[in-house]
Each structure stands twice: as structure tokens, then as C-alpha cells.
Amino acid sequence: MSTRVAIVTGAGQGIGRATAARLAADGLHVVCVDRAGEAAERTATTIRDAGGGATSYAADVAKDQDCVDAVEAAARLGEVAVLCNIAGISPFSSGIAQVGEELWDRVLAVNVKSVFLMSRACLPHLVAAGDGAVIVNMASVHAFAALPESAPYAASKGAIVALTRQMAVDLASAGVRVIAVAPGAVDTPSSYTGARGLGADSQELGLVKDRHHLGWLAEPGDVAEAVAWLASPRARFVNGSTLVIDGGMLAQLPRQG
């Protein structure tokens, strides 16, 4: 039986790193793709040290040729059956009055165009893998509710929800499921950068905690666990939808007074 390969973008740190480790624990050979090649290699080394299979690949997923090359390298290792599009950037402090065209284009390219490019490059391999092939995309609660001054990020995450639905419809007959996850605040390096962008320091991430019904931030592993389930045959009837993983944040109305 050929090696079953999962490609995880943004695997250098945060949610991508945790997802790579979780999929490797399920027995997949994980190709850890990240623009930060050294970080991707650190993730791959950690997985190999734990007895799993992993290879790193340095690529900017906003660039078509990088995506094509990364997928070709992954396909040489086995059957590419899982693609997790997790790489993303989250520059806040960018309402439509202030955001420059360059920043807008960059956020949409890294967060959304990358999903199209990586999925397109993987498609022949996913179709060949047949039933059980799956793409998991990374949305966010920002697709459904807004914080001030997050225009490009919110637009990018809303687009991922729509693109996920579209790809699920288009690829169902080929046996490829496409799903998204929409986390609330997750305790990763970029959460702290994001908090600073909104004028908060890391202590004030407590504000974010208060908005979670459960009262705590998610660990990257909480999201990775859901992705691993969605990517497995145990979720074989889940398709085209977006799973919100936010501790109840979106369920809660703002407090009065």
C-alpha cells in the first residue's frame, strides 16, 4: 500500500504546526509547507523524533509556481490524499479607510488565493486518491462577525467559507470532500500580534477570553483535533460546511452595561 500523504500549509508554527503533528499521529506522512523553511523543518523534525513521517518544504503559497513545486515534491513521497490550507496572515488595524491596496492584495493573496492555488495543484492527486480525499480550509469567526478595523482579514475569511462551499459542490462527483473550520481566538504567536494591532497587549487578550463562553482561549491542538477528525473517514458525510470552533463566542450576545 502506498504512503498516504497530507500537505499542511503554515506548518511552521501555531495551528498549522499542531495540525501537522496531529495528522502524523494518525499515520499520515505530513509535508510541512511554510514560507519559513527553517520553521517548517523544525516541525518535521519534531514529528520524526516522535516516530512519525514528515518532510518540510519551503514555499510561499501565494505564488503559483511555489504551490506546484510543493505539491510535486509531496506527490513523489506517496499518494496525496489530504490538503490542509492553514497558512494565513492576520494584520488587524486595517479598516477600509486606512488599508492600502498593497496590504489588501497581500492578505487576499496569502489567505484566499493560496487556497485556490494549492487546491488546483493538488486536484489531480486528490482525484487519483479517490474516496477519502479531502481539503480542509482555514476560515475564522471573522467570516461571520466583525471586530473593528479588520477589513481585509474579514473579507478573506468570508471568501474562504464561500470558496469551500463552491469547491465541495464542484468536487463531490470526484469523491473529494472540502470543509472549512472557523476558530475563535487561538493561543498562537499571531494572536498576540493581532491583539497588539487592535491596541491591546497580551494581558488584554483576557478581553478575548471574556467573549468566549467557555472562558479560555483555544490551544492550537483543539483546532488540530477537529481538523484531524474532518480529514478522516469518520467525517465522511461532512462536506461543504464550515465548523465553528470558538468555545461559544458567536453564540453569545454582548453583555448589557
Ligand X SMILES: NC(=O)c1ccc[n+]([C@@H]2O[C@H](COP(=O)([O-])OP(=O)(O)OC[C@H]3O[C@@H](n4cnc5c(N)ncnc54)[C@H](O)[C@@H]3O)[C@@H](O)[C@H]2O)c1
In this structure, which amino acid lies at residue 110? V
Smallest CA-to-CA distance from 184 within 209, 203, 164 is with: 209
Smallest distance, Å, CB 130 to ligand X? 28
Binding site for ligand X (CB under 6 A): 9-10, 12-16, 34-36, 39, 60-62, 86-90, 110, 138, 140, 183, 185-186, 188-191
CB nearer to ligand X: pick between 86 and 171 = 86
Name the helix (H) or strand (E) containing 39.
helix 37-49
Q: How far apart are CA 18 and CA 21, in angstroms?
A: 5
C-alpha cell at 105: 492584495
Smallest distance, Å, CB 74 to ligand X? 14
CB nearer to ligand X: pick between 90 and 239 = 90
Smallest distance, Å, CB 211 to ligand X? 12
Q: Which of 81, 139, 153, 208 is catalytic?
A: 153
49 touches 102 (CB < 8 A): no
Q: How far apart are CA 53 and CA 174, in angstroms?
A: 27
Active site residue 57: no
Q: How far apart are CA 140 and CA 93, in angstroms?
A: 17
CB nearer to ligand X: pick between 129 and 228 = 228
29 touches 55 (CB < 8 A): yes
Smallest distance, Å, CB 45 to ligand X? 15
Smallest CA-to-CA distance from 55 within 29, 81, 34, 80 is with: 29
Smallest distance, Å, CB 71 to ligand X? 13
CB nearer to ligand X: pick between 82 and 129 = 82
CB nearer to ligand X: pick between 90 and 94 = 90
Name the helix (H) or strand (E) containing 207.
helix 205-211
C-alpha cell at 171: 468536487
* Catalytic residue IDs: 153
